[in-house]
A and B are shown apart, each in its own frame.
Chain A
Amino acid sequence: MTKYETTFILDPGLDENQVNEEVKKAGQWVQDLGGEVLEVQRWGKRRLAYEINRRRDGIYTLVLYQGPGAIVKELERRLGLNESVLRSLTVLHVPPELTQPQVDAEAVAAAAEEADE
């Protein structure tokens, strides 16, 4: 079983109920396809770096799940067909402890300053 994470951007025009509905639907699909949802992260409404379908904002949601590889293709297909999904991206999950810097930012700044002198 491999862990995947899928982030998708929903239309900013949706109200809260519709957003909940879409997120629930995505989770349901994962389960139907034989996967297991491990975590759902909602980033909320964010400004897009560029326009997508004339939208300047988007509602970001990240779903972390594990399951057979075939799940990814089908999930991406379904998200693509869904018109309120502006964009989606699926990647292999990397544990967050690897992506976090081991040295805290303050120490880095202090050391950098020292190096400047």
Chain B
Amino acid sequence: MAKEREGKSFKKKYCKLCFEKVGFVDYKDEKRLGRFVTDRGKIVPRRVSGTCARHQKQLTTAIKRARVLALLPFTSDFYR
């Protein structure tokens, strides 16, 4: 997003969850959670994804819960 740093023009990051007006991030919603996880299975930091504090907090709990239920990987098989 902020890759194109020609002069002062780069794209402003915004919270995608606020944009979709998600009231509470659910651990069952693995498709949505999957967008906030790297291909290694790590949680994408706020400074990269642009998520707001409130949603990032909910995201981390939701992702961790989803991992317990094997909906999301702790780490991908490839790197194991």
Main secondary structure of the interface of B (DSSP, over half): loop
Is A2 an interface residue when CB atoms closer than 8 A count as contact?
no
Pick the interface stretch among B2-10, B25-33, B43-51: B25-33
Residue A89 lies at the interface, judged by CB distance under 8 Å to chain B: yes
Interface residues on A, range: 20 to 34
- Chain B residues, CB < 8 A from A9: 69-70
Q: A1 at the A/B interface (Cβ < 8 Å)?
A: no
- Residue from B22, B68, B70 within 8 A of A99 (CB atoms): B22
Nearest-CB distance from B11 to chain A (Å)?
8
A98 engages B21 (CB within 8 Å) = no
Say whether A99 contacts B72, CB under 8 Å.
no
Can you list 30 contacts pairing A with B, beta carbon distance less than 8 Å? A7-B28, A9-B69, A9-B70, A48-B70, A49-B67, A49-B70, A50-B70, A50-B73, A50-B77, A58-B70, A87-B69, A89-B69, A91-B27, A94-B24, A94-B26, A97-B23, A98-B23, A98-B24, A99-B23, A99-B24, A99-B26, A99-B28, A99-B29, A100-B22, A101-B22, A102-B20, A102-B21, A102-B22, A103-B19, A103-B20
